Amino acid sequence: MKSKRWWVPYAFLALPLTMYAIWVIIPLVQTLILSFTNWDGVSPTYEMIGFANFRRLFGDPNFQKSLLNNVRWLVGFAGVTVPLGLLLAVFLDQKFRGSKIYKTFMYLPMTLSFVVIGQIWMWILEPRTGALNSLLALFGLGPVGWLSDPSVVTYSLILAASWKQISYAMVLFLAGLKLVPNELVEAAYVDGANAWRRFFSVVLPMLRPAMVIAVTISIIDSLRAFDIVYVLTRGGPFYSSSVMANYMYVQAFHNYRMGYGSSIATVQFLITLGFIIFYIRHVLKKEAEL
């Protein structure tokens, strides 16, 4: 017999679903609609112009720079944070004096916002008296325009953002290492496997779930990078460090081209959605089969 209180689960879900619709679904639909308009963000009316924004978008050299920088972020961000996070986790998982203190210090960047991290790295990367150029000067090198040289500025931003993300990856791998059965490691040791063989043949395969999460989060964060770019360079010099989110913000709120900015946001959303669909269909499917 069906319960008379069938409505109770729906009552609990009503508020979160309503808030999700107000703050996510409705703005998403509005952004999609605006991407087909020429709205400037302040006028009471706008005109539907079809796919004109998207045609202009893919012929825009500054958008192409932003898209290419997002690819650099995607490769560099995951390529730096995941291996270093794993290395730190393996090191700090050892039992030695003061290991808990080191773990605390390594985790501290995770407690800071990207705005604060941006300010810290602005002091580090300052061209005249910054810590990094001062260090290079001790070896007779530099100075380097970390935030002014178009050829290195994007990599400087990735480095600054990685400082926080490494801590996040480290925590994930530390949690994963706690789930590795000691019996398997000891059995490999008895069989004569050295430390490297034990790690790559026993420990690393057991860290697959943590690895999947760390890589996925790093890729998604790289696709929506904005805070650190805006704080340190505003996308400059000459859009050389711009990413899609930053370029969208500039076009929509600085240049009053809300329709054009919405088309950039739509493209960014579709790229991110494509990755999420790929992740759900392939990575999670493989995880379920294991």
User: So what's the pLDDT on residue 270?
Assistant: 92
Compute φ and ψ for 48, nearest 5 degrees: -75, 125
User: So what's the pLDDT on residue 3?
Assistant: 59
Q: Read off the pLDDT of residues 59-105 as tens digits, 9 standing for 90 and up.
A: 999 999 999 999 999 998 888 999 999 999 988 888 778 778 888 88
Q: Read off the pLDDT of residues 25-69 as tens digits, 9 standing for 90 and up.
A: 999 999 999 999 999 989 988 899 999 999 999 899 999 999 999
Q: How far is CA 92 from CA 95, 139, 146, 167, 177, in A?
A: 8, 31, 31, 12, 11
Cα separation, 95 vs 93, in Å, equals 6
User: So what's the pLDDT on residue 64?
Assistant: 94
Q: What is the pTM of this model?
A: 0.86
Average per-residue pLDDT for the chain = 88
Q: Read off the pLDDT of residues 106-145 as tens digits, 9 standing for 90 and up.
A: 888 888 888 899 889 999 999 888 899 999 998 888 789 9
- The answer, yes or no, to whether residue 23 has pLDDT greater than 80, is yes
Decide if 24 contacts 16 (C-beta within 8 A).
Answer: no
Cα separation, 264 vs 249, in Å, equals 9
Q: Read off the pLDDT of residues 155-203 as tens digits, 9 standing for 90 and up.
A: 999 999 999 999 999 999 999 988 888 888 888 888 887 888 888 888 8
- The answer, yes or no, to whether residue 285 has pLDDT greater than 70, is no
Q: Which CATH superfamily is domain 68-179+208-289 in?
A: MetI-like (1.10.3720.10)
Tokens for 71, please give them. Answer: 């690819």
Cα separation, 41 vs 88, in Å, equals 47
Compute φ and ψ for 37, nearest 5 degrees: -125, 175
